[in-house]
Structure formats: structure tokens, C-alpha cells
Structure 1
Amino acid sequence: MKILAIESSCDEFSIGVIENDKILCNVVSSQIENHKQFGGVVPELAARLHLENLNWVLNEVQEKIKLDWNTIDQVAYTANPGLLGSLIIGKMVAETIGTYLDVPIVPLDHIEGHIFASSIDNDFVYPVLALIVSGGHTQIELVKSPNNFEIIGSTIDDAIGESYDKVARVLGFDYPGGPQVDKLAQLGTPTYQLPLSKNDQSYDFSYSGLKTAAINLIHNLNQKQEPIKINDFCASFQEAATKVIAMKLERAIQEYKPQTLTVGGGVSANSRIRTTIMELGKKYQIHKTIIPKFEYCTDNGAMMAQLAYAKFTEK
């Protein structure tokens, strides 16, 4: 079984190819430099750039693995969630390839793909408790099989990645600012007081309040002409942003008793998030505690190919 999968939900156009549970290639065209001047992703620009870059990606895939197109058994693509224009480009490419090759065309869920990024080179033991942290999502999902996903908690407003980037922008960092906040946080001490948003007994999240509090604190310090201890500020923000995740995820582990613990999404590259997952896995003796390779944290075709293969081969 050889599957070609397309991921185009936001500002990356990517194609991954999998054969018999082995990723053969993962080609990604990133647009970060194009969107940096705007301080975030511009949806129409993202879709236009997908159109410009898709030929390069297809050619790169063929060159990397000397792909014989007639050996493709299935074409998968990200159907939702994501930017509408970007999703349409991916769907059109998938339908064109699938129709030409006369093979099945399979729509997939982007979030489920992020979860299965961790199963590349690893085997899930079900049930899986998965934390999804990205620019647009903050969720906890219980996965009972490749075709059985249950959202047990989600953000009610801003996602964690969005709050990182917006606070970073006020601090003067270029987009995407989240990784820069993480880097400086590791050098500082959390001495600034910031709230733990949605600190309750639910599994839901809220980052609007933390984002607003952090930005207001920056403005207040600037108005008073007090210097911001940037490392300590980043450490304080990161502590508030990730501590509530650790608390809620720990309660979910106690309630659902997973056999596998994992994390996915762009913010899964965050140092504190990765440490939290490993610490909880060790504390509760979850032997299958998996964090994805950095190359599979951001949007990529390999994760969608892995998801498609898992769904197709589920017994």
C-alpha cells in the first residue's frame, strides 16, 4: 500500500509518501518569510503561494524517491480544519492526481494528522491521550483507534500558539515569535505575575485573558519607563501558558488512564511542553510516552500520510 498525502491547511504546502508504514519522503514548502512582514499568516496570500509552489513540491517528491506514479494506491488530503483557500488548493491537487491515476481520494482531519505525527517510527498502544497545541488549536483528545477520536477539552477563544505570537509581536519579535519566547524563557526566571487562564476543573482552555494580561503588563511597564527583564518576562509568560496545560493533562491521565501519551502541533516543539509530557509520562509510568521529531511538529505531508495509512490498515 503506497499513499500520497497532501497537507495545505495553512502556510505550508507539503506532500508525504508512505509505503507499508514507512515514510518515503516528506517535502515541505514553507511561506514564513512571505508572511513575516505582515506579522502573521495572510489567508489569500497563502493560497496564492500554494499555487505557485505546488509544482516545485511535486517535482521534488518525484526526484527524491524516483516516484513511479502508477504505484500510488491512494491519494489523501487535508479537508479540514484550516484556511478555506489553502484547503481548496490541496483538495484540487488531490482530486487531479487521484482522478488521473484512478485511485481512491481520501479527505482527512488536520488535527488527527498532528496526533499521528508521533506514530511515525513509533507504535501507538490504545487508548492514546493526545495534547494538540498549535497556532489555531489547543485540545486534549482521547484516541481509541485511528478512526475513533474524542475531543475532551478545547480552547474557548485564543489558542496557545496564537497567544505566544501576539505577545512576542508586542515585545518586538518577528513572526513567528513563539520560538523566540521559548528560547529566552529558558534563560530567565518567572518573576512577573501573570494569570492562569481557565484554571478550573474542565479540560477546556482559554488564552485570551493571559494574552491580554501580558500585553497590558508590557504597556504599563513601558509607560512607567521601567525596563522589561526580557528573559524573566518570557519565562513568566511561558510558565503561565504551560502550567495550566500540565494541570489539566494530569487530571485527564488520572481519569482516562491512557496506554500512550503524546503531543502534536507546532507548539509541540516548545521546550516546556515537551518536558511536561515526558515528566507526566514518567510520573504515571506510561511506557508509550512519545513526542514527535521536530520535523513533524509543524504542518507536513508525512503526518497526513501516516494517518491515512493507519486508517486504511486498521483491523
Structure 2
Amino acid sequence: MKILAIESSCDEFAIAIMDDGKLLCNVISSQIDQHKEYGGVVPELAARLHLQNSGWVLREALEQSKINIEDIDMVAYTAKPGLIGSLIIGKVVAETIAMYINKPLVPLDHIEGHIYGAAIDHNFEYPVLAMVVSGGHTQIEIVNSPMDFKIIGATEDDAIGECYDKVARVMGLEYPGGPLIDKLAQTGNPERYKLPLAKNDDSYDFSYSGLKTATINLIHNAEQKGEEINKNDLAASFQKSAIEIIKIKLNRAIEQYRPKTLTVAGGVSANSLMRKTILELGKDHNIKNTIIPEMSYCTDNGAMIAKLCYEKEMFQNKNKIR
């Protein structure tokens, strides 16, 4: 079964092709350079660039896979969530391909795809406890099968990636700011500045607006007093607070749900402290199947959508046979 998968939810237009679970290609057209001058993603620009780049991405995917488009058995695409204009372009491209080759069209969920990005080179043992961390989402999910996802906690305001980027902008860092804060934090003192643990309660929900406001206020107060902020120390202090609350809540979720697999998904899963934290939690709770995704599968990509589609099809076919 050859699956062509399209991901276009934000500022990447990506196409991957998978053959019976084996990834043949994963082509990504990134727009970071175009959006950088605006300090963030401009939805209208993202959609226009998707339309402009979709043709060469498709040609490159077919060339790398060494197959003809008629060989594709199924076309999958990200239907939600995401920027509406970007999603529409991906949907139209997917519909056009599926109609041309007369093959099934499968709409899929972006967040579910991110979770299965960690399973491209690994196998999930269920239940899976997944920590989703990205620019638009911060949530904990229990995955009992490729068809059974349960959100047990989510952000009430800013997502962690969004918080990183907003703080980075006030620190004078370029977009995207998350990776730059992570880099500065490597040589900073995480105890230098005292920042709050946002929504440190008994729920599995998150709130990053308080941490964002506290960090920005710290910067502004220092500027007004003529004091110099040590960016490395601030980055380390901010990162510690941002991820420590995730560690606290994940630790409690592991004790309650006893997962057989622990994983992290989304763009912020590329963060060094986030990856270290997940591995430490897996070790502390003796979860042998603790998985962090390959760096190439952390940000938006077509491979994760292809993998999700493949796993859903396999699960459904298996249960039909029974």
C-alpha cells in the first residue's frame, strides 16, 4: 500500500510517500525565511506560498520515491487544525491528485499526526502517553489505538511554543525564537531569575500566559531601571519554568495511567531540555518504550501524516478480518 500524504497546516508545505510502512521520501518546503521579517507567520502569505510551491514539492517527492503518481493507492492530507487558508490549499491539492488517479482520499488530524511522527522509526505499545508541545498546542493525550485518542489536559491560553516566541521577540531575538532561547539556555544559569510555575495545580491543564507576562515584565522593569539582563541566564530561567511544569504534570499522569509508551510530539519536542525531561521520566518510571522523535519529524512534515494514515488503515483492516 503506497500512501501519498500532504501536510500544509501552517508555514510548511510537505509531501511524503510511504510504501507498506517504509518511508520513501519526506519533502518539505519551509517558509521561515519569508515570515522572519514579520516576526511570525502571516496566514495569507503562507497560503500563497503553499500554492506556489506545491508543484515542485510533488514532483520532487515522486522523483525521490522513484514511482509514478498512478502507483499511489491512497492520498492523505491534514484536514485540521491549522491556518484555514493553508489547510484549504493542502486539501485542494490532495483532492486533485485523488481525483486524477481515482484513489481514496483520507482527511486526518494534525495533532494525531505529530504523535505518530514518533512512531515512524519505532513501534508504539499501547496505551501511549503523549505530550504534545508546539506553537499552537500544549496537551497531554492518552492513545489506546490509532483510532482512540483522549485529551486529558490542554492549554487554557498561550501554547508553550507561542510563549517561547513571544518572550524571544521581547528579548530581541529573531523568529522563530524557541530554538534561539534553547541555544542561549545551554550556557545560562537557570537559578538566576525567579519565574513562576504557571498553573501548578491538580489538573493536567496548562497556562503559559502568566509565565510569558512575568518574563516580559522582568525585562521591562530592568530596562526602566537601566539594569542589564543576562540573556543566557534569562533564557535558562525561562526554559526551566516552562518545562518544569510539564515534568510535574506528566509525572502524575504516568502514575495514574501507567502507559507502556511515553513520547513527546510537536515542534517543541526538538527542545533539548524537553527531550532530556521525557527520557528522564521514562527512566524514573521504568517505561522501556520511551520515544523521542527524530529531529526531522519534530516540526510539521508529511511523513507523520503518512504514518498516521498507515497505522489507521492497518488497524481497521486487522479488525475487519476479526
The structural deviation recorded for 1:211 is: 0.4
CA distance in 2, matches of 1:2, 1:37: 39
**Number of matched residues?**
315
Aligned residue for 2:118, secondary structure, equals helix
Query: Given the alignment of the two structures, is residue 45 of structure 1 paired with residue 42 of structure 2, yes or no?
Result: no
1:288-307 paired onto structure 2 within 5 Å: 288-307=289-308
Mapped contact 1:61–1:67 kept (Cα < 8 A): no
Aligned equivalents of 2:122, 2:59: Cα separation in 1: 29
8 A contact 1:11–1:31 mirrored in 2: yes
Residue 230 of structure 1 deviates from its aligned partner by: 1.1
Deviations 1:260-283 (A, max 9, x none): 000000000000100000000001
1:155 aligns with 2:180: no
Identity within the alignment, % = 67
Q: Find runs of 4+ consecutive structure 1 residues off by over 2 angstroms.
A: none
TM-score, length of structure 2 as denominator length:
0.97
Distance in structure 2 (CA, Å) of the matches to 1:200 and 1:107: 36
CA RMSD, aligned part only?
Answer: 0.6
TM-score, length basis structure 1:
0.99
Alignment map for 1:232-311 (pairs within 5 Å): 232-311=233-312
Is 2:141 aligned against 1:141? yes
Q: Distance in 2 between matches of 1:91 and 1:236?
A: 41
User: Hey, what's the Cα distance between the residues in 2 that align with 1:137 and 1:204?
Assistant: 11
For 2:164, the aligned partner's letter is: Y
Match of 2:51, SS state, is helix
* Helix, strand or coil at the partner of 2:256: helix
1: distance between equivalents of 2:194 and 2:124? 39
Aligned twin of 1:203: 204
Q: 1:227 & 1:104 partners in 2: Cα distance?
A: 59
Could you say which residue in structure 1 is the equivalent of 2:74?
Answer: 74
Q: What is the correspondence of 1:181-220 to structure 2 with a 5 Å cutoff?
A: 181-190=181-190, 191-220=192-221
**Unaligned segments of structure 2, at least 5 residues:** none
Partner of 1:90: 90
Aligned residue number for residue 229 of structure 1: 230
* Partners of 1:100 and 1:55 in 2: CA distance: 15
Structure 2 residue identity aligned to 1:224: K
Distance in structure 2 (CA, Å) of the matches to 1:167 and 1:247? 22
Question: For 2:43 and 2:36, how far apart are their aligned partners in 1?
Answer: 13
How far did 1:296 drift? 0.3
**Deviation of 1:256 (Å):** 0.3
- 2:124 pairs with 1:124: yes
C-alpha offsets along residues 12-63 of structure 1, whole Å, 9 cap, x if unaligned? 0000111111111000000000000110000010000000110110111122
Q: Post-superposition shift, 1:186? A: 1.3
Is the contact made by 1:146 and 1:311 (CA closer than 8 Å) also made in structure 2?
Answer: yes
Q: Distance in 1 between matches of 2:122 and 2:130?
A: 14
Deviation at 1:306, TM superposition (A): 0.3
Higher deviation after alignment, 294-303 or 68-77: 68-77
Q: Secondary structure at the match of 1:119?
A: coil
Deviation at 1:240, TM superposition (A): 0.6
Residues in 2 aligned to 1:229 and 1:11: alpha-carbon distance in whole angstroms: 32
1:152 shift after superposition: 0.4
Q: Which is worse superposed, 172-181 or 61-70? A: 61-70
Distance 1:230 1:39 in 2: 19
Whole-angstrom CA distance in 2 between matches of 1:65 and 1:16: 9
- 1:228-286 residue CA offsets vs partner (Å, 9 max, x unmatched): 11111001000110000000000000000000000000000000100000000001110
| Structure 2 Cα separation of the partners of residues 40 and 121 of structure 1 | 31
Q: Which runs of 5+ in 1 are unaligned?
A: none
Supply the distance in 2 between the matched residues of 1:48 and 1:284 (Cα, whole angstroms).
47
| Paired amino acid for 1:140 | I
Local SS of the residue matching 2:24: strand
Secondary structure of 1:244's aligned partner: helix
SS state at 1:209 partner:
helix
Question: In structure 2, the residue corresponding to 1:29 is in which secondary structure?
Answer: strand
